[in-house]
């Protein structure tokens, strides 16, 4: 990974890897999509390890600023998806977020 490109996801990526120009906010989105790609491409039991490894690779190659960009990108992507879901279901984004919080409270995402 150079300063402008995220690391290649490993283990095997999901079918839709990030393909954004890697500058500014687009770099944050690209890093976030790369991390989501790793998450989606791994079984439930291996997700925590795969995500930890990708975050470690991002940190090793881009430093703390790259991890921060990844977190900001994840926030942007999550917000956009909440708004899309809210629009499709005629709910408010706050209702969607509350529904997600309720569902996640009943689930152990890293087991």
Q: Where are the domains of the chain?
A: 24-105
pLDDT surpassing 70 at residue 3? no
pTM of the model: 0.69
pLDDT surpassing 50 at residue 13? no
Helix axes 47-89, 93-105, angle to 10 degrees: 140
State the alpha helices, DSSP H only, in 1-111.
24-40, 47-89, 93-105
pLDDT digits (tens, 9 = 90+) for 38-90: 999 998 889 999 999 999 999 999 999 999 999 999 999 999 999 999 999 99
Q: What is the pLDDT of residue 52?
A: 94
Quick one: average pLDDT of 99-103? 90
């Amino acid at each position: 990974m150079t300063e402008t490109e995220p690391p290649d996801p490993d283990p095997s990526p999901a079918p839709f890897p990030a393909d954004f120009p890697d500058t500014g906010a687009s770099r944050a989105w690209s890093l976030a999509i790369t991390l989501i790609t790793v998450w989606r491409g791994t079984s439930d039991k291996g997700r925590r390890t795969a995500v930890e490894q990708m975050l470690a690779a991002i940190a090793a190659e881009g430093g703390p600023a790259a991890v921060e960009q990844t977190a900001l990108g994840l926030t942007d992507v999550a917000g956009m998806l909440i708004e899309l879901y809210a629009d499709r279901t005629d709910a408010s984004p706050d209702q969607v977020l509350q529904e997600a919080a309720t569902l996640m409270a009943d689930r152990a995402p890293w087991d």
